[in-house]
């Protein structure tokens, strides 16, 4: 059973989260993400709690509903699965925490928003450098291992549906 996420976490400042990614029912592999909870604790806490489902809702079973080759994979709409839904653990939306972290290259995760201060559950996983998004979308996470799965997805591999399934036993290591 995953442990509850509280930030800042005194034992582990920047925990690692794990997901198993599938296409339809075919496993593609595991991806690990390093949360930057020391820089953006509220945003990281939202992702952490949605990853474990500890607040009664979360990413498990949601899909990457938008994939743009050479740019990003977008997912995290666990209510409608089409970019129109999702919610944060703080209510429907929450404010931009800060823009200290930058969109430096592939593997950066940042919050999707329609306008300033409208963060929910949807995230982008970059497959290229996206510096034009600095000060517009909060960066909170970095792919640690498994980035090759996203390169397969955006290069037109045999992917139909991309699901996140939280399988972590202990995400604080």
Residues serving a catalytic function are 66, 71, 74, 113, 124, 133, 137
Q: Nearest 5 degrees, angle CA 139-CA 142-CA 147?
A: 130
- Look-up: residue for tokens 């593997």? 107
CB atoms within 10 A of CB 83: 15
Residues 6+ apart with CB under 8 A from 36: 14, 44, 101, 139, 140, 141, 142
Residues 6+ apart with CB under 8 A from 10: none
* CA 10 to centroid of chain Cα atoms: 22
């Amino acid at each position: 059973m995953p442990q509850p996420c509280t930030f800042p976490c005194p034992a582990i400042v920047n925990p690692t989260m794990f997901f198993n990614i599938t296409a339809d029912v075919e496993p593609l592999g595991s991806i690990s993400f390093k949360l930057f909870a020391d820089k953006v604790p509220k945003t990281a806490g939202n992702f952490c709690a949605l990853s474990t489902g500890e607040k009664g809702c979360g990413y498990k079973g949601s899909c990457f509903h938008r994939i743009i080759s050479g740019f990003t994979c977008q997912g995290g709409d666990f209510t409608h699965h089409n970019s129109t839904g999702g919610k944060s653990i703080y209510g429907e939306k929450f404010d931009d925490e800060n823009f200290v972290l930058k969109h430096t290259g592939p593997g950066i995760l940042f919050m999707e928003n329609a306008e300033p201060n409208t963060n929910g559950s949807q995230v982008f996983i970059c497959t290229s450098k996206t510096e034009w998004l600095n000060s517009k979308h909060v960066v909170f996470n970095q792919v640690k291992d498994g980035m090759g799965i996203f390169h397969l997805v955006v290069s037109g591999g045999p992917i139909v549906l991309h699901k996140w399934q939280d399988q972590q036993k202990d995400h604080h290591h």
